[in-house]
Amino acid sequence: MALAETEQLTRMVAGTALSRAICTIGELGVADHIESGAPQPVEKLARLTGAHEASLYRMLRFTASYGVFREMAHREFDHTPLSAALRSDAEGSFRAAARMFHSIFAGWDGFHHTIQTGEPSFQKVYGQPLFNYIGAHPELAPVFDAGMTAFHGHETGAMLDAYDFSDVETLADIGGGNGSLLGAVLQRYPRLRGILYDLGHVAGRAREAIQALGLEKRCSVLEGSFFDSVPEGADAYLMRHVIHDWTDEQAVRILTNCRKVVPRHGRILVVEFAVPSANEASLGKDADMIMLAFPGGSERTEEEYRALFEQSGFRLSQVTPTRSAVCVIEGRPIGGA
């Protein structure tokens, strides 16, 4: 094997340390103790975060080689755009996402088992599926709410700029989580009404969020499982990063339940990555590894979504790209208006 390939593969193997380091930086809040343009000595950063000074220095030196912080003279560190995004007060801060993965990072430990068996790595390590685990550990709820917003919040504006909801009367957000997505759509479209549907342990937090936005008169929050049923009363049904959490069989079950209530003139809107062709790098392919290891779901190509739709009674009518990495994949009832 040539030297260049050996060294490149070595860096790839060490990539695990980069992922772990980002999560540790987020959990410790290292970025919060640096103001851009005012480098801080590692001695001070270690004292403020409760870290071991020599180990913290080596980690920051390592992440700086990837553009996360910039090492200055005298073992001081300043921000780069990447490290600044890990500050708690940064616009669209990524810190909550790093902290979320910090809390479940051990889930990667079963990845080899996943490739051998198809069973999610998380389930192998923790002894139960991801969402069951979160439901059984309420202390993780705010961590995951904040983490998912940090991961996907930037997609909301991109979706609203790309897709026109003006002809929708009532929008149902299925698996709507903490309500941030539906709240943003309702704020953009003042005449639109909303329905948020999610499990009981999630719905309470969604109600609080909807009330905080002053939208409770235009939006109802309903409790239930989309594996059992989906509420009637909307002409458009939205799911963002829901279908990717599940196997094809489970996805068809969710979509079929939606088909039972989507009116003939209605539509379903699936906001997901559309995985591109072979050998092309994409965030969707990166996310697919997370889906494989943690919930056991899958990121899919446009054609794979087309097949899921057809099995569920929909035809794929339109794919709308956004300025983010996600698309709005629209389905219309087969035989509908």
Sketch the domain layout of the chain as residue ranges. 3-103, 144-279+295-333
Active site residue 244: yes
What pLDDT score does 281 carry? Answer: 92
**How many Å apart are CA 109 and CA 105, to the nearest integer?**
8
**Domain spanning 3-103 has what CATH number?**
1.10.10.10
Q: Among 23, 247, 305, which Cα is nearest to 143's?
A: 23
In sequence order, the β-bridge partners of residue 223 are: 198
Per-10-residue mean pLDDT for the chain, 337 residues long? 85 94 98 97 98 98 97 97 97 96 97 97 97 90 90 94 97 95 96 96 89 95 97 97 98 98 97 93 96 97 98 98 97 86
Query: 79, 102, 152, 244: which one is catalytic?
Result: 244
What pLDDT score does 203 carry? Answer: 87
**CATH architecture of the domain with residue range 144-279+295-333:** 3-Layer(aba) Sandwich (3.40)
Is-contact 125 109, C-beta < 8 A?
yes
**How many Å apart are CA 158 and CA 170, to the nearest integer?**
21
With tokens 């899919």, the residue in question is 300
